[in-house]
Chains A and B, each alone.
Chain A
Amino acid sequence: MIHVENLTKYYNAFCAVDHISLDIHKGEILGLLGPNGAGKTTTLRMLTGYFMPTSGTIRVKDHTIDENPLEIKKLIGYLPESAPLYHNMLVYDYLDYIARIRGLDRNQKSARIRFLADTCGLNSVMHFPINDLSKGLRQRVGLAHAMMSDPEILVLDEPTSGLDPNQIVEIRDIIRQIGKEKTVILSTHILREAEATCDRVVIINQGKIVADDLTENLKKSAGKERVIHISLLNADRNAVEAQLMTIDGIIGIEPRADADGGKLDIRLTCQPAADMRENIYKAIKKTDWILIEFYQETKDLETVFRELTKEN
């Protein structure tokens, strides 16, 4: 559906996006992740035709961005970061204007506006100036704006930024609903959001793609080592170290004595091959230490993200 090849964008001498290549398929919900200033927004702006790439090609269906930007713009609905809408227009007037520019005829237009007002929960604010709306409502107007022409591709730049938890869940539901039939590309720096909504995740750091995989695969690949956390009472730091180091497969121990109650927190790094928990438990059982916490770090996107985007 969308084919991006060697996409590069320089702002003067600063390289914001560095030779990105991507293929996005129909019906995919793609999450673009990355720390601040990684190039997410710039990438999306090039996809939507707001910025011209310094080099590289973007092809959407049969159109390329330099030859036929207008056709691509017709296919894409775009919600820019923080929904910069016309402040002094009424919500209805704004949606009406967008509908006209998107080329909806009279009948389609009123039906579509009504449908979007229902979907995005705007019925009670249609006659308010956009200026008077809360951030969340404005974001929803922006979403309605992006969905106006029922586009095949929806590009959303941080669609849930600045929303309260309830609104986030609502917007996520809407996105997942749309994602069943349409291609959705969204950028975010909230990892749990990407985990919850996206089929596929692309992580960008310093303008380069550092990971591109299905969300599940990425989670599986997280962490080359297993990390186990233990908390003990009634234990001596040195004795613990001596006892645990006898177990094969444990690479490192970082004990940290806690002031209150003499609790001892230990972070064990183990080799990835085997599950060490059984051996550790047996070793502790032999002593008179009291085990109050014992868990293996679950690998989630956060771990992957931090590993991939850490500064050296």
Chain B
Amino acid sequence: MKQVVHILNKELKDYFISPIAYIVIAIFLLVTGWFFFTTFFLYNQADLRNFFNLLPITFSFVIPAITMRLFSEELGIGSYEILRTLPVTFRDIVIGKFLAGVLLIAAALIPTLSYPVFIAFLGQLDWGPVAGGYLGAVLLGAAFTAVGLFASSLTRNQIIAFIVGAIICFSLTLVDQMLFFFPRSTLGLIGYLGADFHFKNIARGVIDSRDILYFFSIIFIGLYCANLALREKE
């Protein structure tokens, strides 16, 4: 457990010492802020629904950009060999890096807390969906981080890691909007796979154990696959 903290610290430091964290957070805030506020006043409703509706798509390309370096960079410069010969287990490494990614996403979400505060001055804001939305956002961010981490563990090329990660995240986001491509008998299953669907459930303020379970399954599968991909390299 201690080793997880050391690795987490190191990765977070890396993010915030280099410009990566600031660039990613800035882009994230610009994109979400712009799309949210251009239509906000037209709807004339004091809620954050549009902000949360956009999140799965924005996360689909922002998060792979954050996670792409976590393993690919180490594999590329060879420092992975040093990491693996230190007294740490695969689990320490994967969880440490995963948590670093999640904390960076959380850091990117913190400035957006000013939106509900601001909107609460304008009208009657229902805080239930807001709280649910942020919980959903963190869960969604964590799930995509796990997926991105897996993509990063596959290759030493960061660009490939980004593209693979983004493709998986986009598929998870969009799959429930493409149901007409699939045979009728599989619709239930494929609909359940869509991250967007589960996220919107939580963002409505309805905390259902099925949705929570869904995100935790994605996190677990992502991390487990990353673990397998790394073991494969021995």
Contacts and interface: CB of A to CB of B under 8 A. Distances in A.
Is the pairing of A and B real?
yes
Interface of A: 45, 48-52, 70, 73-74, 76, 78, 80, 82, 84-89, 93, 97-98, 100-103, 145
B27 interface: no
A82 B78 contact: yes
B234 A51 contact: yes
A93 B234 contact: no
Given A85-B79, A87-B77, A101-B3, 5 more contacts: A70-B87, A80-B78, A98-B86, A101-B7, A102-B87
Given A50-B234, A100-B6, A84 B86 contact: no
Given A50-B234, A101-B3, A74 B81 contact: no
B50 interface: no
Contacts of A70: 87, 89
Contacts of A86: 14, 77, 79
Nearest to B89: A70
A53 to B, nearest CB: 9
Nearest to B7: A101
Interface of B: 2-3, 6-7, 9-10, 13-14, 17-18, 77-79, 81-82, 84-89, 234
Nearest to A48: B85
Interface of chain B: mostly helix, strand, loop or mixed: helix
A78 B85 contact: yes
B131 to A, nearest CB: 36
A49 B79 contact: no
Given A80-B78, A84-B81, A88-B18, A102 B86 contact: yes
B89 A45 contact: no
A101 to B, nearest CB: 5
B135 to A, nearest CB: 32
A45 B13 contact: no
Contacts of B10: 97
B87 A84 contact: no
B17 to A, nearest CB: 7
A70 B234 CA distance: 15
Contacts of A89: 14
17 contacts: A49-B85, A73-B87, A78-B82, A80-B78, A80-B81, A84-B78, A84-B82, A85-B79, A86-B14, A88-B18, A89-B14, A97-B6, A100-B6, A100-B9, A101-B86, A103-B2, A103-B87
Contact of B82 (A52, A80, A88, A93): A80
Contacts of A48: 85
A52 B234 contact: yes
Contacts of A45: 81
B18 to A, nearest CB: 6
A174 to B, nearest CB: 19
Contacts of A87: 77
Nearest to B78: A84
B82 A85 contact: yes
B152 to A, nearest CB: 16
B85 A101 contact: no
Contacts of B88: 101
Given A49-B84, A50-B234, A84 B77 contact: yes
A45 B78 CA distance: 13
A218 to B, nearest CB: 29
B14 A88 contact: yes
A263 B178 CA distance: 89
Contacts of B17: 88
**Which of A98, A100, A101 has the most chain B CB atoms closer than 10 A to its own CB?**
A101
A92 to B, nearest CB: 12
A130 to B, nearest CB: 10
A145 B82 CA distance: 10
B3 A76 contact: no
Nearest to A80: B81
A84 B79 contact: yes
Nearest to B3: A101
B85 A76 contact: yes
Contacts of A78: 82, 85
A73 B82 contact: no
- Name the residue among B2, B7, B79, B87 with the largest chain A CB count within 10 angstroms: B87
